[in-house]
Chains A and B, each alone.
Chain A
């Protein structure tokens, strides 16, 4: 699920300038090399912290205390927020954190400890604590954790696809872009409020394990949330247009390319037009979903149910289990959708949010088909999980190997299975969104992601959107409001009868996908094309107070 809680906590904490330990993912902010300001050297900078020595200290201490396997991560996580409304700046926040997390296996039981204190003694103590936690957790009769074969990546580095490091862009330039976009939207009659912000994340991760890997990675992600709100003159109604720019695993250049100033007036006009839009009549419609809407539906109804830990009950107490379970009854047999439906998992698409060089098990992720020709084909896995599907990989003549989906959202978090980029691959014919609308007699076309909710096994979902257009005879005849579609996952995907082609493929993304206890966030992209879904149930969400 995309986590409202984390987002509320982060933004509230940032806004209040408070950092309650359990309210913020530890590890925020800092030192921008802002032009005009002399470059600052951070005390915990990789340049001044003996990273290799500390990683080795942790691994050696874990082994000495009895660990059969250990990995250690030293991570530095930075965030930069700039928040505006209308023509004013609300907040400038820069966060930074650094520390070490060490994970151990003792007699097939996991232990984990983390500390922000990076002295040799503290690091060794954390490793010993991880071992003692593992020992305390050994229960008689529990089957031991076994890891799929590892890979040794000695002294390798990887960097995500950014050209402009957001920490090198002056604050004035960021503010100018946001206030410029706000001003354009405010020119539209009826638009009274605009909230916009920039949000950047930089992860610098260093990983070592007992297999001999030593991996350094730098990952940057960028997002520009923007919402224009129009209010009726008599205060009887208000409508918003938001979620206009998708987050990406790229740098500042990506936000500039989205041209917020050039597009803001259109977004404002859409908000104002919603005030006059016709309330939808409840019923069944053919839906034409733009990729900016469909990515979230893929995320919730294909991405989450095909996480192997969910299917095996490991998330039962929070995120839930999955209808795509048990694996022996679903792999190779569950008809997820039509034969032209192919869903790919990967962490390799350039500029996608989940893309990395190596995962937090030290594995180089591969690309794999979760749904192949409409049939369920594979789960998302880590080193711990891949052996659970040994029988299936043997049957397919494939090696039993992790897909590289291990991720910890901070040095203080334990790595577990997180979603790779999960994408709907283009169809053979190069159809566009407009082509699909033109082929539709009576339907609703939906742009942008809105409200979303799905049950704990991922059957029953309800999704809104940002902009809804009524289709009659292959043409858009006007705007609708108060639209939400309800679905049962297998029925919905099997009702898909048209999809777009390669040139209509785009990446949507969640910046705050939540999973696990304690809760961790993950950023993940979903490539997708527009698609049509027949005879889908639509409800009207408008009510009078």
Chain B
């Protein structure tokens, strides 16, 4: 075995190319090359390429850092209603040919999928200008300097240890098929999250920033926010679990609203196994489900989102309103389910935004006789899909608000709550902002909210 695995003889070396990111022309040429190899009735090809670099630090020192260059090709071949998908990282002609033949061989053997849809023809996409060379070209030294801003601030403070993660990437996604479909999108991203902990172990604060353009990240401001929050959260006191008025910072709102968005599948609702199923059958589309001030939508070209304007099947994604003025406006319809139900397919959205109000966090605090201010949430997991009930905990800055002011730091709390209940108990809405640290990631822009009767069920000693 070892002889084969450790062959010393170079039999074939893979050709090297300089750029990690494929251009539109390169991606189109590659897809055409693969389509030309195909012997299947239909073939869909997805191509992705890119580079991701990061630096990670903890205990006031840089712990690991790296750079990854990668590319992938996905070939989906179909014969009638039989299909299979093969993914490969080997972009040589021989490698592509093997992937094509393999997907065809598997497709021939696969049973028929009665729900298979005919290929999608050419589509029109609204471009989303999500690529910034400031991000694509960022150097290892610049990344280390960004980390150093927080580390130096912590060292200067003396009573603070910081841990953080900064990642910058550039990627290009393209897809095409035999029926003339072609889509291409490239983007860059930077995401920075920072946790500051007081050295006495009683305080922890978190802050983050996320943007497609590296130059928009203010590393010093993030460090200042996290350190200030850590100090403010020292020596937390216990409060009784129960129902509280809460002020949720955008980060906390984003986790809960994203959970709601993940539940917006039309088919599950029609099948009677969703919070959006109507008793007796059908969906709740057209029904008022939350406070009338709530509008939740997707829009890839929104300047704060700049998301991919098509989904994995090539369906165009424009502005789509899921909840409009509190009424369930639409659900996610796949092409198959849309056809079956006589609806328009929506595709699977690439972004999420909630329309805001104009209240600042300070306004919300000032308008609260007694409540809890929550920085962020942690470890959200489904408890009951019938109501989208989730559990999770507060983290990195939880404060009691009394008489319009933050009065003290309090221990973290576990909640059992549903975004549907939360959005029905709405009191105030803040200005939407792009958030950096939801558990599911992605392009998400949400406001802070003030909500009554938020259900906390137990205390946590965790700092």
Contact = CB atoms under 8 A, between A and B. Distances in A.
Interface stretch (B28-36, B42-50, B127-135, B210-218): B42-50
A100 B400 CA distance: 50
A133 B74 contact: no
Contacts of B102: 30-32, 37, 40, 94
A139 B98 contact: no
A142 interface: yes
A31 B459 contact: no
Interface stretch (B2-10, B117-125, B231-239, B244-252): B2-10
A526 interface: no
A236 interface: yes
A494 to B, nearest CB: 15
Contacts of B14: 43-44, 49, 117-119
Nearest to B308: A20
A545 B62 CA distance: 47
Interface string A221-252: 00000000101101111100000000000000
Interface string B451-463: 0000001111111
Nearest to A28: B87
A156 B2 CA distance: 7
A26 B386 contact: no
A48 B7 CA distance: 8
B253 to A, nearest CB: 18
Nearest to B94: A43
Contacts of A136: 65, 139-141, 143-144
A518 interface: yes
Interface string B366-397: 00000000000011111111110101110100
Contacts of A183: none
A221 B244 CA distance: 46
Interface stretch (B168-176, B320-328, B401-409, B426-434): B168-176
Nearest to B8: A52
A28 B75 CA distance: 12
B87 A46 contact: no
B311 interface: yes
Contact of B98 (A5, A31, A238, A454): A31
A43 B109 contact: no
Given A29-B87, A235-B279, A453-B391, A21 B169 contact: yes
A99 B89 contact: yes
Given A32-B102, A52-B6, A539 B457 contact: yes
Interface string B406-449: 00000010101010110000000000000000011100000000
Interface in A144-203: 155-157, 170-172, 175, 179, 192-193
The CB with the most chain B CB atoms within 10 A, among A21, A88, A323, is that of: A21
Interface in A3-25: 4-5, 8, 12-22, 24
B17 to A, nearest CB: 7
A42 B98 contact: yes
A188 to B, nearest CB: 16
B439 A4 contact: yes
Interface string B170-198: 01010100000000000001000111010
B13 interface: yes
A44 B91 CA distance: 10
Contacts of A120: 10, 13
Interface residues of A, number: 134
A460 interface: yes
Contacts of B362: none
Contacts of B114: 88
Interface stretch (B267-275, B297-305, B352-360): B267-275
Contact of A116 (B44, B69, B148): B69
A437 B383 CA distance: 26
A495 interface: no
B272 A482 contact: no
Interface in A453-503: 453-460, 462, 464, 482, 484, 486, 488
Interface string A503-539: 0000000000000011000000000000000000101
B459 A93 contact: no
A200 to B, nearest CB: 14
A132 B272 contact: no
Contacts, number: 414
A137 B65 contact: yes
B7 A47 contact: yes
Given A40-B98, A458-B462, A544 B85 contact: no
Contact of B384 (A32, A462, A542): A542
Given A235-B281, A314-B59, A193 B271 contact: yes
B341 interface: no
Nearest to A326: B201
Given A94-B86, A216-B2, A541-B389, A117 B17 contact: yes
B277 interface: yes
B229 interface: no
A175 B7 CA distance: 37
Contacts of B165: 317-318, 517-518
A137 B461 contact: no
B260 interface: no
A117 B113 contact: no
The CB with the most chain A CB atoms within 10 A, among B9, B197, B462, is that of: B462
A363 interface: no
B163 interface: yes
B16 interface: yes
Interface in A275-330: 312-318, 320-321, 323
B346 to A, nearest CB: 14
B56 interface: yes
A482 B384 CA distance: 8
A414 B68 CA distance: 10
B171 A22 contact: yes
A364 interface: no
B50 A460 contact: no
Contacts of B4: 46-47
Interface stretch (A61-69, A106-114, A257-265, A374-382): A106-114
B312 A13 contact: yes
B76 interface: yes
B149 interface: no
A389 interface: no
Interface string B96-119: 001101110111011111110000
8 contacts: A19-B48, A21-B171, A50-B11, A112-B66, A313-B163, A316-B58, A453-B380, A460-B461
Given A112-B66, A453-B379, A457-B462, 12 more contacts: A17-B76, A89-B110, A94-B106, A95-B87, A156-B2, A157-B2, A317-B58, A318-B165, A453-B380, A455-B378, A545-B387, A545-B418
Closest 5 CB pairs of A and B: A16-B312, A18-B312, A43-B95, A460-B460, A457-B462
